[in-house]
Chains A and B, each alone.
Chain A
Amino acid sequence: MQFSFTRFGYLFRKQWVENRKLYGLGALAYTGVLLFFLLFFAFAGDLGMPMQGLAYFTGLIFGGGMFCSTLFSRLGDSSGNTQELLLPVSPLERMLVAVLLGVVLYPVVFTALFYPCLAAAHVVDTVSRAANHQPANDFLDLGAGSTRVIILLNFTVQAFALVCFLLFRKYAFVKAVIASIVLLLVFLIVNTATLKMLFPDKPVTGKAATYYHPSMQNLYGSVGFMVVRKTNDKVVSWENSFMMVDLGKPVRTGFGALYLVMPLLLCGVVVLKLKERQR
């Protein structure tokens, strides 16, 4: 596999020079959309941590997908792909430039855009909450365990997006979204089936005890259960809370490794697809 830092640098520069106007406009558009939604939630009095998280991660993942769709767009364009494919660079260099832009720089720039917008919306939110004698909401903490998981998940999603934009020549974005939905559905079905297999639907016979465990920090190496009460096989009530069952360190490590291995595997697929790409 060929790699040269010099060519990598040239390719990165080329990508920047040819797309800087697009990136500038994109950054402006993202700022506008973020401000609109965050201010909307602030005025609605609902700019708590969950809403901040939702705004951040939706923008990060979907916005990132849209951004990634531009990285290989010339390969799908019949007038541009000839020159693009014949540029003296290796598939590895091409993939690494896409990863640097889509997986590393995009989240940094997005975060840099997000926090000033959040700060502006937070002022509005704090004033409105103070009027109702409520304490101010905290800021979203990107260092929290669950946040780290979602940032890792974002790497996988963007790597998957890169694969999709190489796989599909026409209507790549629409097809990538459909592929993601299909994949998510498959995951949900497999996940539910596996859990049912692991934990058959039997009445709990032992005593249940609750204790605090920072399960989100162990990369979802836990399974959530809902407390449901039944009478004559009919659900009479359920508690809107989950009990997390820690699956143990080996499972947690496995899940953690999966988050790291998946993007790497997908990047490998990107290199192979670039290599076998024909006009």
Chain B
Amino acid sequence: MNSISTPTTLRARRTALSPLARFWARFAESRLALIGLALCCIVLLLAIFAPYIAPQNPYDPRALNILDGRLPPGSASMEGRIYWLGTDTQGRDILSAILYGLRISLGVGVLSTIFALAIGTALGLLAAYFGGRVDSIVMRAVDIQLGFPSILVALILLSALGKGVDKIIVALVIVQWAYYARAVRGTALVERQKGYMEAARCLALPHRDIVLAHLLPNCMPPLIVVVTVQVAHAIALEATLSFLGVGLPISEPSLGLLIANGFQFMLSGKYWVSLFPGLALLVIIVAINLVGDQIRDVVNPRLQH
């Protein structure tokens, strides 16, 4: 996976490579996408190891010193440690708060995507495989869902469900499942016309085996694109809702909540409390989109040369 060669030699070797290696070779043709992928990996590692990397535990009251409150970036603390990104009112190190916030933002984004992927894929496969009434019911639900903007659907759900990690995940899953269902159904309708599906049906395999072992694997590639776009979308939507105060409770300080916290200080020129969590959010979303863009180009058969 990590062999570094020039694109031309890879292109020459491509026919001899396994599908995965071929995919990687085409993906690595874009330097921007590689940078995006590297950023994604770094952010993921930072989030996982946040408690070991962060200079302080921002949610342990004993670690905070109120005298260090509202220091601009680069200031030294009372103990001589440097706050690279400044502190908030309670003397909380912004860098540490961002690292802990990443865990929550990424966790919510990834979990909701996994659930939405599972539900959307299952419904999309059923719709395409069985057709008829199943298809029209599922697709009508998809149409209604996609007819409304995601923020409106999320607002309806959250005003009904209230705040909480579980509730925002439920809301994000309901917002997202339709995209997967539509994508899977589209691919599956094409795939079910192909020879191998006919062969599987002729062998009188059970529906479950045909769908899971034959249809599903062949519908996966276009889904990867939808997944990357939707993870970024989910993270941004969670941040927006939390910023508005209708998403996560204060006990779960995601990046969106950190930004909301700093908003009140912004008008007095204390930009760092909001700006840096926002930049972190921006880096994550742009990095995921760069990766997603390149995967779309690689997976799209019309662009293959």
A interacts with B = no
A interface with B by C-beta (< 8 Å): none
B interface with A by C-beta (< 8 Å): none
